[in-house]
Amino acid sequence: MVLNEEQALLKDTIADFLDEHAPTTLLREMRDTPNSPAWPAPVWSQLCEMGVPACALPEDLGGLGFGWLGLGTILEEAGKRLSPLPLLSSVAVATSVVRHCASQAQLETLLSDMATGTSVLTLAHQEQSTFHQQACDTIEHDGKVSGTKVMVMDATGADHLLVSAKRHNGSQGVALVPTNSAGLHIDEETLFDGRKYARISLFEVSVDTWLEGADVTTGLQRALDEAAIAVACDMMGGARELLERTVSYLCEREQFGVKIGSFQALQHRCAQAYCDLELAESTLLAALFALDNGDPRISEHASRAKAMAGDIYQHISNEAVQLHGGMGVTDEMDIGLFLKRSRVCNQLFGDSSYHRARFATLRGF
């Protein structure tokens, strides 16, 4: 990424912190510990003290003003280390939903708590095994909400859920639901990337607070586009780390008395992966710049970035396993953890096939 001095300092600071406090070994420890939390509270508290939850918010909303480019660098660094933290769920996705769907009065209250880390929110939107932006069968009736949500990130550690639902008048709504609400059941699932997700069941859950923005339908669609770009940042970080680890391995491993990195066929595979990675990185960078500069074609940028990030992360993870001679898929090495993460991330907020089709539709094909 092309970063200014402040953004580069932010990137280096976060990288150093995550190397020390949230490396890949932390994910292993939490995955292998029964009844572990969704994220380590001490690490999250330190990130909040550093101001990370407020980094992307503008200064007039109590933020630090680093914008999406700044947040993107943080998400990439977390993706490089598979750090199990609510950066995607709360700092990126939930914050976007609040910013685009809440009223001014709600913004001041909700974002203030989120920016300090006092409150952690997560979005509950997807209802089927495959994602679709406008699919929503959760309904409101007599002030109560009923329905089912799946693939909800970090729900067991969150304070509130942002639940998308059809209002009694047929309009799109987003309800703010405390996770301890009567009639709300959170069924935790640890997917094979080692992270905590949940299936949410709501049965006549009373809702006291609905986000009251001028156009919640449009706001939610914009937030989902931003969510896709945020996940793409996490994926690009993981893909770059995989390629770097693979190239280092090829330069160390010997076969037939020479370093296997000297074999031209393997060099070609790494060179192709590097070129594809840089192309995807440029596409993601364009999306982040579009968000920071008010580009009206955000949906196109989001689908292009998510599709390309999904393709390259899966491709490099496959190559990494093969170029490690199959050892990469064993639990002894971290390569398999990245491969599993690539598959789960590809499903979050739409896989590559979904976004390619959507991009084509947006372009009029």
Give me the mean pLDDT over the 75-98 stretch: 96
Which tens digits make up the pLDDT trace of 28-77? 999 999 889 999 999 999 999 999 999 989 888 888 889 999 999 999 99
Closest Cα partner for 236 from 122, 151, 314? Answer: 314
Which tens digits make up the pLDDT trace of 215-247? 999 999 999 999 999 999 999 999 999 999 999
The Cα–Cα gap between 175 and 125 comes to 11
Read off φ and ψ for residue 5, nearest 5 degrees: -60, -45
What the chain holds in terms of domains, given with CATH numbers, is: 5-119 (1.10.540.10), 122-210 (2.40.110.10), 216-362 (1.20.140.10)
Give me the mean pLDDT over the 263-279 stretch: 95
Tell me what pLDDT residue 3 has: 72
Q: How confident is the model at residue 332 (pLDDT cuts 50, 70, 90)?
A: confident
Q: How confident is the model at residue 2 (pLDDT cuts 50, 70, 90)?
A: low
Q: How confident is the model at residue 98 (pLDDT cuts 50, 70, 90)?
A: very high
Helix ranges, the chain (H)? 5-21, 24-31, 41-49, 67-81, 95-101, 104-116, 216-252, 264-292, 298-323, 335-347, 352-362
Scored b (16 or more CB within 10 A) or e, 146-183 reads bbbbbbbbbbbbbebbbbbbbbeeeebbbbbbebebee
Tell me what pLDDT residue 1 has: 54
Q: How confident is the model at residue 7 (pLDDT cuts 50, 70, 90)?
A: confident
The Cα–Cα gap between 263 and 258 comes to 9
Closest Cα partner for 172 from 123, 128, 221? Answer: 221
What percent of the chain lies above the pLDDT cut of 90?
Answer: 80
Report the chain's mean pLDDT, rounded to a whole number: 93
Tell me what pLDDT residue 262 has: 87
Is pLDDT at 328 greater than 90 in this prediction?
no
Instruction: With beta carbons less than 8 A apart as the criterion, state whether 55 and 66 touch.
Output: yes
Residue 310 vs residues 65, 75, 90, 159, 229: alpha-carbon distances, Å: 28, 15, 21, 30, 11
Tell me what pLDDT residue 74 has: 96
Closest Cα partner for 174 from 92, 96, 291, 117? Answer: 96
